[in-house]
Structure 1
Amino acid sequence: MRADQVIIEPIVSEKSTIARENECKKYTFRVDPQANKFEIMAAVKEIFKVEVLSCNVMNMKGKPKYSRGKGGYIKGTTASWKKAVVTLAKGQSISAIEGV
C-alpha cells in the first residue's frame, strides 16, 4: 500500500490540538482500515519527512444515527473508521498541520 493511501486525513479537534501542542508532539490521523502500525509510521515518515517514535492505533465504532424520512424515522449508523496517534521525536513537527 502506498503512503498516500495509508493516511486519509489529519484529525483537527480540540483534544488533538492539545496533544499536538505539548512537548511530546502527538499527531492524530484518520487512516486506512487495513493499515497496520508499521505501515502508518512509514507513511508519516515518507510524507512529512519526520522521525516517528511510536504509533497507537484505534478502531472507532460507528455512532447511531436517526434521520426523518418519508415513512417516519430511519435508524442507522455512521461508518466505522480507524484512527492513529503518532508520536514524533523531540524537536520534530509537521508544519502542514501546525497552522490549522
Structure 2
Amino acid sequence: MEFVTRETILTNMNRMLEPLMEKYDLDDIGVYEEEGEAERYYIGYTVKKDGEVYMVNMPFEKDHEGKLALKEGVWTIQADDNDDFETHGYYSLDDVFESIENGIEH
C-alpha cells in the first residue's frame, strides 16, 4: 500500500472536476472528504445530475502520519436524499456514471 498526503489526492481529484463534468454531462461536481471509523477515510465527489445529488467515494486507510492509501479500488454511490441508500462495487468512474445515468432506484 502506498501512502500519500491527503493534499496530493485532493489536488489530483480537483484537476478532474472539469473533465468529469464535461464527459458525463453533469449539472455540478465537487470533491468531498469524510473521516470514518478507526483509520478509515473517504474521499470522493459530490455529483449533481438531472436534479439528483450523489456522493461517490472510495475508502482510504490513514497511517500514523496522516497519510492515506487506497484501501479498496471500488467506488461507492450514496444518495443525498436517502441516508440509507448505498450501492458499491463500481471499478471505474465510467461504471459509476453509467449507473447514475440509467437511474438508480433509491
Output the TM-score relative to the length of structure 1.
0.33
Q: Which has the larger radius of gyration?
A: 1
**TM-score when normalising by structure 2:** 0.32
